[in-house]
Amino acid sequence: MFRNILARHGRTIGTAAIATTAGVTVASLLNEKDSFGRAASVASCDSPTVLSLLQEVSARLSNLEAMVGGVRAQTTGSRKKDGIDVVLGAQWGDEGKGKLVDILSQEYDVCARVAGGSNAGHTIVVNNKKYKFHLLPSGILNEKATCVIGNGVVVHLPSFLNELESLAGNGVNYEGRILLSDRAHLVFDFHQEVDGRNEARLGRHKIGTTKKGIGPAYASKISRNGLRVGDLQDWPTFERRFRSLCEQQMRAYDGLTIDIDAQLEYYKSIADRVGGFTVDTIAYTNAQFDAGKKILVEGANATMLDIDFGTYPFVTSSNPSVGSVLTGLGVSPRKLRSIYGTVKAYCTRVGEGPFPTELEMKEGSEGLHLSQVGAEYGTTTGRPRRCGWLDIPQMKYSAVINGFTCINLTKLDVLTGLPEVKIGKSYKVNGEILPFMPASLETLGKVEVEYEVLPGWTEDISTVNRFEDLPINCQNYVLRVQELIGVPIRWIGVGPNRLDVIDRGEGWEINAN
């Protein structure tokens, strides 16, 4: 027994091996403290060396617990009472994050965007009416929520103002409920033109950008010659820096022309209106947290489009994974509580880049079924999305990076009618299973996907509101996906409307392999 306890932390029974606790997490050590104490109390005098070692370990752990205070209570799986909750995309985008945000935001005081720009597209259906958002958080439909566009977002002000007009036209009152970070960088029309030029120059090697100017705007930010929303409130400085930026862009791109005076006239005309939305959102968000307000973050794009973690270079220009919450909103990681990964029940991708489980789109094919039944066309670009089976290696990779608390599984109803459904279970290269998502696109492009095949279902599930009432084959699919990813599936989307969602609730356990 004693040897097993020590072995779990890589120890052997010997003074040299037991002398350090390096390499062991504080949480795991504290969780074992009671076990060491109990073991020491029952150790017989037949093994005095083991007894002394266990007593020493127990004493060290008591000292460690005294130093770190409340760490143990927060690291044993219990959910923190207060904190910022985050909804993220776990695949290549278009997973249905906005729908969950719309539902959850009814219980939140603040809803925030933290990265990307108008390249994002979130669709909400309320009473058979579609609302499409690109810059604004989907929580804007909750009349009690204040919506924050954080410092990590890049903002094309004409698009921002157009979205406000669309809201007003649909009878949504947004007055006093939209806050725009003074530190958020601006996307200009010439950024969008440069984006299109760069894409055209790549020819058949194109990235598949939305041409919304996101990459060039972030490039200006990183080059330290970009302009921020708050700069509009200091007009002489804005005018000087805008002229300098335009001249730099025209020198860099042959044939690019910018009517600088006309652009300046436009921005001067909207400066006061934009100023009415502009605040220090870092100060605001942290003050709201300290006041006990509930905060929800709406991720844009998805993990596999992350500039660092995605299928580079076929990615976006920001970090849509969990790190963007901290850098794009200005909050401490200590303030995060739950991280909800949104996963489509199959997989889609817009634009170029590798897609291991991609299906053909020929007549009568499973891929065409997913495309047509799922209405798989980009909210921002209108381009048809590529469709494929759910990819478990990709999902596990996303879960590792983001540390999902639970999963929001969407569009399960789209699989209805297929005689069988497949799950991409593992990748093989040269007959060997890959243990982790490869960074190399060459490797990813030649993987052989091993599939697990499950029987499908034909019953309409769009009116089901309890997991137990789903067809048994449908239940088995959900449970198998949950088991393979290793993260609980809490929400299940069974139809396109706002409340076509099954909530399995909290406080239940899974056996994850």
301 annotated as a binding-site residue: yes
96 annotated as a binding-site residue: yes
| Active-site residue, from 122, 134, 211, 212 | 122
How far apart (Å, rounded) are the C-alpha atoms in residues 99 and 123?
A: 7
* Cis amide prior to 236 (ω within 30 degrees): no
380 annotated as a binding-site residue: yes
156 annotated as a binding-site residue: no
98 annotated as a binding-site residue: yes
| Active-site residue, from 85, 94, 182, 500 | 94
Residue 179 contacts residue 146 (beta carbons within 8 Å): yes
Residue 391 contacts residue 347 (beta carbons within 8 Å): yes
Q: What is the DSSP string of 300-366?
A: -S-GGG-TTTSSTTSS-SS--STHHHHHHHT--GGGEEEEEEEEESSEEE-SSS--TTB----TT-H
379 annotated as a binding-site residue: yes
The helix/strand/coil state of 146 is strand
Q: How many CB atoms lie within 10 A of CB 244?
A: 12
424 annotated as a binding-site residue: no
251: enclosing H helix or E strand = helix 235-252
Identify whether 94 is a catalytic site residue. Answer: yes
How far apart (Å, rounded) are the C-alpha atoms in residues 113 and 136?
A: 7
Identify whether 122 is a catalytic site residue. Answer: yes
130 annotated as a binding-site residue: no
458 annotated as a binding-site residue: no
Q: What is the DSSP string of 393-434?
A: HHHHHHHHHHT-SEEEEE-GGGGTT-SEEEEEEEEEETTEE-
| Active-site residue, from 134, 211, 212, 221 | 221
408 annotated as a binding-site residue: no
The single-letter DSSP state of residue 462 is: T
68 annotated as a binding-site residue: no
Residue 464 contacts residue 472 (beta carbons within 8 Å): no
94 annotated as a binding-site residue: yes
349 annotated as a binding-site residue: no
In the chain, the N- to C-terminal Cα span, in Å, equals 26
299 annotated as a binding-site residue: no
Chain-centroid distance of CA 395 in Å reads: 12
171 annotated as a binding-site residue: no
413 annotated as a binding-site residue: yes
Residue 11 contacts residue 49 (beta carbons within 8 Å): no
Count CA atoms closer than 13 A to 346's CA, side-chain side: 29
381 annotated as a binding-site residue: yes
How far apart (Å, rounded) are the C-alpha atoms in residues 191 and 206?
A: 17
Residue numbers belonging to the annotated binding site = 93-99, 119-123, 210, 224, 301, 316, 379-385, 411-413, 493-495
Residue numbers belonging to the annotated binding site for GTP = 93-99, 121-123, 385, 411-413, 493-495
Which residues are designated catalytic?
94, 122, 221
Residue numbers belonging to the annotated binding site for Mg(2+) = 94, 121
Residue numbers belonging to the annotated binding site for substrate = 379-385
